[in-house]
Each structure stands twice: as C-alpha cells, then as structure tokens.
Structure 1
C-alpha cells in the first residue's frame, strides 16, 4: 500500500467522544481516491461510483497524524477500482479499511468514458515521454 497523504487531527475533526469523526475521515478518503483516479486516468471528470463496506478498526485523537493509503486493484473500461487503508502514523494502528472503491471516468455529458488505461502510470514516467 502506498501512503500518499497525511492529515493532522485538529479539534474541528473530532466527534463528541473526542476522537476522529468518521464522516471527516470518509471525506478525506473520498477526496484522496478522486485525486488519485483523476491523475491515473488523466480525466478531471472522474467520480466515485461505489464504496464497499467500511471497517473502522481503531480511532485517532487530537494531535495524531493519519496516513491515507490507496492501491489499485483493477482497471476497467471506464473505471478504476481501488482499495484503501488509513493508519495512525503515531501508533501505526490501522484506523479504517475499505476493500473496494470504484471511480468512474466521465465524458462531458456525464456518461462513462473509456479511459484506455491498463496499468499504473507515474508522473515521472509521463515526463520522460516529453
């Protein structure tokens, strides 16, 4: 799993129990998955279609740093299937796992658009072609 983003838990990220609010974490995951898919598919009109069961394993508290990891599971015709793990950088405990996140590439009319991608591409590799 590649961990791309880190978030610092601040007071506005907490629930009434004083731990990380699950909705905030899901917002961060959705944004990270979208950014990852947009870069991979090279289409800014890429949206979340599906998220599988979400498994909260542990939590985080104010001042902790969490890392969001994304991994590609499969390239579809117009989709990219990802999985996600978020862990507490301080304790190294897993906070949440999501087995399947499906992102879909859309055309200008909002219809699924074939992206033609079959494997992960890194920005550094794309720059070598220029």
Structure 2
C-alpha cells in the first residue's frame, strides 16, 4: 500500500526569464516555449508525487490569457490536483512578476495528465492524493469530472456511469 500524499508534497516551482530565443518577431513569448516549460515543471510535480519517472499522457487544457513580453520574469507553480491508478492530473499556474514591485499577475494556466512508469516503461500505481485547502478540494473534484468527460468522449465510459456529469450537462 502506497502512502497517501498531499498536493503540497508535489509542489514544484521554477522561474524563467523570457529571452530573445523564446520570442517571436514581435518580442512576445512563443506558446511552444511556454508549453515546454509547463511540461517540464509538470513532470517534476508528477515525479514528486509518484516517486517515479512520469511521462506526459495528455495536455488537457492550456490558457493563453495575454501576451508575455521579452524580458518578463515568469514563475510556474505545479501541483498534482488528483491521482488515479497510474495517472496524475497536474495543474500548472503561470505568473508574470512585476520587475519593480515583484507583484505576481496570473498569466496562464495548464492542466496536464502524467503517467508514472517503471524502468520497463510500464505504468505503475501512484499514491492517493489527499487535498487539504478549499482550492485543492475544488481542483480535486473538478479533476474527476474532467477525467470522466474525457473517458465519455473517448467512448471508454458511459454517461450514466458518471453521476457528477449528468447533473452538469443534463446527460
């Protein structure tokens, strides 16, 4: 039996400076550069939760709220929001730091799914997640709804087997 963990045990934070090679001809951050940073810090959070190498299974959602300028200081914070059998949903919040006041403004958010694997590339069980704060509890509940919707759309789950979604989508 694996020891249960809290989202804070997976917390991973990185800070990046938007450099010229990260930008387009307008001096704005390439979405692909941001996606690479998101994937990297998300994998660290998944590894911290599972204790295993974790690979990206899907990019479930990415929001690009507004353009990010050359020279911006960005902080990415990743936490596991829910653990399933061998997969983990990780939410990455991205902030831009004001260079004078050091205040952070939310600029992007991404939700990715990672799968923990063993040395042979086979998926392995991951610890259960115990949310503590209200935000963690909300993200935990929402992760189940997102997973169920994804499985319904993939034809791997019937709508009647997802009572949480029936009320929301009137299925």
Query: Could you say what the CA RMSD is over the residues aligned between the two structures, in angstroms?
Result: 2.0
Q: Aligned partners of 1:61, 1:5: CA distance in 2, in Å?
A: 18
SS of 2:104 mapped into structure 1:
coil
**TM-score, normalised on structure 2?**
0.62
| Post-superposition CA distance 1:22-45 (Å, at most 9, x none) | 10010000000111111221112x
Count of residue correspondences: 117
1:110 maps to: 121
Establish whether residue 119 from structure 1 lines up as the match of residue 129 from structure 2: yes
> Where do 1:1-130 residues align within 5 Å?
4-44=13-53, 46-90=54-98, 92-98=104-110, 100-115=111-126, 117-119=127-129
Larger CA Rg, structure 1 vs 2:
2
Higher helix fraction: Structure 1 or Structure 2? Answer: 2
Unaligned 5+ runs, structure 1: 121-130
After superposition, what is the alpha-carbon deviation per residue over 1:37-64, rounded to whole angstroms, capped at 9, x for unaligned?
Answer: 11221112x1010111211001221221
Q: Contact 1:3–1:67 (CA<8 Å) still a contact in 2?
A: no
| Structure 2: runs of 5+ lacking an equivalent | 1-7, 131-171
Structure 1 distance, partners of 2:88, 2:61, is 18
Structure 1 or 2: more strand by fraction: 1
